[in-house]
């Protein structure tokens, strides 16, 4: 058995672990806080040896420490906000960037409207529905989640029942809370028998009152149209579509982006998705919107067709990761907003760096790739005006951010 070592935690890391310095280098200790001494051995959680830090708080969820989603429920509000902001500050510092980083914009608990669950059949015949534990691919049975909206938590038994009737060893359920009710998209490796599909439809519409239930993109039941409102425009997301996880965070993103491009006469929205930011921009100016998801572009276009008070929107399907807008195409725009996947938008940033677009706004939930893309733009002649962190992913190590640049 590996001997325990006594370690002093000095600071927090980007994943929420406490960091102690050892002769072999930094040691990362889950759930430790600066100032605490812990006894640690390889492969186990550290044991507190000193009085707890005054910044330590009791977790608000019974699953904390097991669930792989939350890493920071044990921190005080002050320490938590400072830590979250520091993740972004450190990512910028590592790229040699020193733009002003605003204080963390908070988001309330119980506000996440979109969740992805795994349901796995047990050998004894039951079904586990929940998340993965820390650094594991097993599934634990979720009983509560202080991050999610109450409607999703209340529906956990219904979701487990739906998963059980698929008769699959494992399925994935993407759940979105909408004003019309829950929109549930089930992903399975096989098609269901007609009788099983009919039973699922009965459960969804009659017994559980879901707005919509789909299986591998095919609608099994639709009691009402699940829609979200983006800048006052009603949009029906395709089954399982990406949307911003928290409505309050989405509103803050829209506010920051529209303020940054104020006065632009011809903005472009790259990686636009369903139009989360497109419609905010189109309240003021004509917008060119691009995304590689054809279903998302179709939903955006359909919503724009029936909306009132918008400037024209030109929405196009384009894979900007492989075919970014070139400098010659970018000359038509006086502001560009881009909100790429976690991998960032390196190719598009390189093209923007060679363009003459006066204003660029970068939105990202991945500080590392955001900093990389910002460095490309700064090296290309842009000045980083500032970055605003938004706590869209409560208690996790992910940080949403909006960066504003000008030539």
Helices 367-379 + 77-94 axis angle, to 10:
40
Over residues 19-28, the pLDDT tens digits come to: 999 998 999 9
Number of CB atoms found within 10 A of residue 387's CB: 28
Q: Reply yes or no on whether 365 is catalytic.
A: yes
pLDDT of residue 186: 94
Which position has the higher pLDDT, 180 or 201? Answer: 180
pLDDT of residue 203: 84
Cα dist. 169→121, 165, 188, 332, 383 in Å?
5, 11, 9, 52, 52
State the pLDDT confidence band at 44, using cuts at 50, 70 and 90: confident
Distance, C-alpha 354 to centroid of its chain: 30
State the pLDDT confidence band at 167, using cuts at 50, 70 and 90: confident
Which position has the higher pLDDT, 185 or 168? Answer: 185
Of all residues in the chain, the percent with pLDDT exceeding 70 is 99
Mean pLDDT score, 379-385? 98
Count of helices and strands (H, E) across the chain: 10, 21
pLDDT of residue 45: 81
Does residue 171 sit in helix, strand or coil?
strand
pLDDT of residue 52: 95
Over residues 335-354, the pLDDT tens digits come to: 999 999 999 999 999 999 99
Q: Alpha helix (H) ranges present in 367-407?
A: 367-379
Helices 367-379 + 346-353 axis angle, to 10:
20
The pLDDT of residue 304 is above 80: yes
Rounded-to-integer distance, Cα 367 and Cα 84, Å: 11
Rounded-to-integer distance, Cα 112 and Cα 329, Å: 37
Of all residues in the chain, the percent with pLDDT exceeding 90 is 86
Q: Which of 188-202, 209-223, 250-264, 365-379 has the lowest mean pLDDT?
A: 188-202
The pLDDT of residue 194 is above 90: no
Rounded-to-integer distance, Cα 111 and Cα 109, Å: 5
Average pLDDT, the chain: 94
Domains of the chain: 5-56 (2.40.50.140), 82-108+246-406 (3.40.50.150), 114-228 (2.40.50.1070)
State the pLDDT confidence band at 125, using cuts at 50, 70 and 90: confident
The pLDDT of residue 212 is above 70: yes
pLDDT of residue 244: 97
pLDDT of residue 43: 66
User: Which one of 61, 67, 145, 365 is the catalytic residue?
Assistant: 365
pLDDT of residue 71: 96
Rounded-to-integer distance, Cα 193 and Cα 80, Å: 49
Mean pLDDT score, 252-256? 97
pLDDT of residue 191: 78
- Long-range contacts made by residues 322-327, C-beta under 8 angstroms, separation at least 24? 322/347, 324/348, 324/350, 324/351, 325/268, 325/270, 325/290, 325/351, 326/351, 327/351, 327/354, 327/355, 327/356
The pLDDT of residue 206 is above 90: no
The pLDDT of residue 113 is above 60: yes
State the pLDDT confidence band at 197, using cuts at 50, 70 and 90: confident
pLDDT of residue 207: 63
pLDDT of residue 2: 61
């Amino acid at each position: 058995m590996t001997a325990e070592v006594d370690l002093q935690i000095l600071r927090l890391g980007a994943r929420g672990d406490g960091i102690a310095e050892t002769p072999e280098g930094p040691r990362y200790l889950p759930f430790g806080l600066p100032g605490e001494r812990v006894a640690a051995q390889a492969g186990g959680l550290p044991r507190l040896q000193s009085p707890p830090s005054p910044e330590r708080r009791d977790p608000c969820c019974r699953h904390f420490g097991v669930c792989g989603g939350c890493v920071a429920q044990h921190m005080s509000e002050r320490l938590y906000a400072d830590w979250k902001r520091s993740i972004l500050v450190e990512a910028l510092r590592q790229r040699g960037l020193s733009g002003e980083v605003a204080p963390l914009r908070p988001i309330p608990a119980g506000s996440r409207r979109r969740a992805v669950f795994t349901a796995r059949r047990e050998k004894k015949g039951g079904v586990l529905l929940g998340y993965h534990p820390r650094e594991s691919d097993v599934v634990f049975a979720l009983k509560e989640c202080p991050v999610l909206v109450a409607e999703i938590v209340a529906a956990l038994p219904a979701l487990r029942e739906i998963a059980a009737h698929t008769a699959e060893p494992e399925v994935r359920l993407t759940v979105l809370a909408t004003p019309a009710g829950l929109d549930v998209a089930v992903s399975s490796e096989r098609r269901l028998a007609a009788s099983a599909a009919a039973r699922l439809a009965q459960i969804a519409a009659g017994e559980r009152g879901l707005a919509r239930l789909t299986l591998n993109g095919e609608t099994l039941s639709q009691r009402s149209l699940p829609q979200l409102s983006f800048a006052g425009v009603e949009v029906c997301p395709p089954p399982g579509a990406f949307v911003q996880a928290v409505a309050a965070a989405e509103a803050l993103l829209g506010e920051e982006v529209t303020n940054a491009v104020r006065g632009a006469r011809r903005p472009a929205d790259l990686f636009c998705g369903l139009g989360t930011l497109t419609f905010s921009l189109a309240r003021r100016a004509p917008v060119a919107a691009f995304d590689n998801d054809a279903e998302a572009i179709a939903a955006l276009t359909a919503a724009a067709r029936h909306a009132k008070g918008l400037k024209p929107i030109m929405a196009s399907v384009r894979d900007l990761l492989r075919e970014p807008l070139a400098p010659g195409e970018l000359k038509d725009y006086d502001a560009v907003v881009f909100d790429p996947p976690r991998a960032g938008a390196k190719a598009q940033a390189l093209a923007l760096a060679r363009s003459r677009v006066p204003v660029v706004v970068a939105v990202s939930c991945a500080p590392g790739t955001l900093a990389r893309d910002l460095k490309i733009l700064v090296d290309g002649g842009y000045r980083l005006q500032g970055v605003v962190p938004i706590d869209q992913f409560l208690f996790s190590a992910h940080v949403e951010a909006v960066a504003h640049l000008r030539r």
